Chains A and B, each alone.
Chain A
Amino acid sequence: MIRAESLTKAYGRSVVVDDVSFEIGSGESVAFWGPNGAGKTTIVRCLLGLVHFEGQLLVDDRDVARRGKEVRRLIGHVPQELAFYEDLSVDETLTLSAELRTVDRARIASVLETVDLTAEVGKKVGALSGGMKQRLGLAAALLADPPILVLDEPTSNLDIAGREKIMTVLEGLRADDRTLILTSHHLEEVGSLADRALTMAEGRILAECAPAELADRLGISSRLHIVLSEEDRTDEAVALLRGMDLDARRNSRGVIVDVSAQNKGAAIGALLEKGIGVADFEVWR
Chain B
Amino acid sequence: MSADMPVLHERPQVRLVWTIARKELRDSIRDRWFWLFAGGFALLAAGLAVFALSNSQVVGFGGFGRTAASLIALVQLVVPLMGLTLGARSIAGQREAGTLRFLLSHPVSRTEVFFGLLGGIGAALLAAIAAGFGVAGLVSAARGSAVDAADLLGIALSSWLLSLAMLAVGILISTLARRAGTALGTALFVWLVFTFVGDLGLMGASLATDLPVNVLFFSTLVNPVEAFRLLSMLQLEGTLDVLGPAGSYAIDTFGGIVAVPALLSLVVWTAVPLAVAWWVFARRSDV
Is A66's CB under 8 angstroms from B6's CB?
yes
> A33-62: contact bitstring with B at CB < 8 Å (1 yes, 0 no)?
000000000000000111111111100000
Instruction: Check: A175 CB closer than 8 A to any chain B CB.
Output: no
Q: How far is the CB of B23 from chain A (nearest CB, A)?
A: 6
Q: CB-CB < 8 A to B287: which residues of A?
A: 50-51
A53 vs B30: C-alpha distance in the bound complex, in angstroms?
37
A66 and B107 in contact, given A52-B285, A87-B30, A96-B23 (Cβ under 8 angstroms): no
> A79-107: contact bitstring with B at CB < 8 Å (1 yes, 0 no)?
10111110100000000110111100000
Interface size on B, residues (CB 8 A): 30
Most central of A57, A69, A73, A77 by chain B CB within 10 Å? A69
Which of B96-104, B119-127, B152-160, B176-184 forms contacts with chain A? Answer: B96-104
Q: CB-CB < 8 A to A99: which residues of B?
A: 19
Give the residue name and chain of the B residue nearest to A5 (CB).
B1
How many residue-residue contacts, CB under 8 A, span A and B? 84
Is B9's CB under 8 angstroms from A66's CB?
yes
Instruction: Check: A230 CB closer than 8 A to any chain B CB.
Output: no
Is B106's CB under 8 angstroms from A72's CB?
yes
A66 vs B286: C-alpha distance in the bound complex, in angstroms?
18
Instruction: Check: B210 CB closer than 8 A to any chain A CB.
Output: no
Give the residue name and chain of the B residue nearest to A74 (CB).
B107
Interface residues on A, range: 20 to 34
Is A101's CB under 8 angstroms from B6's CB?
no
Instruction: Check: A284 CB closer than 8 A to any chain B CB.
Output: no
Instruction: Check: B78 CB closer than 8 A to any chain A CB.
Output: no
Q: CB-CB < 8 A to A11: which residues of B?
A: 285-286
Is A54's CB under 8 angstroms from B106's CB?
no
Is A96's CB under 8 angstroms from B1's CB?
no
A210 vs B197: C-alpha distance in the bound complex, in angstroms?
67
A57 vs B4: C-alpha distance in the bound complex, in angstroms?
12
Instruction: Check: B16 CB closer than 8 A to any chain A CB.
Output: yes
Instruction: Check: B2 CB closer than 8 A to any chain A CB.
Output: yes
Is B109's CB under 8 angstroms from A69's CB?
yes
Q: How far is the CB of A111 from chain B (nearest CB, A)?
A: 15
Q: CB-CB < 8 A to A48: which residues of B?
A: 104-105
Is B3's CB under 8 angstroms from A53's CB?
yes
Give the residue name and chain of the A residue nearest to B16 (CB).
A100
Contact residues, B254-287 vs A (CB, 8 A)? 283, 285-287
The 5 closest A-B CB pairs, nearest first, are A83-B98, A65-B3, A68-B6, A100-B106, A73-B107
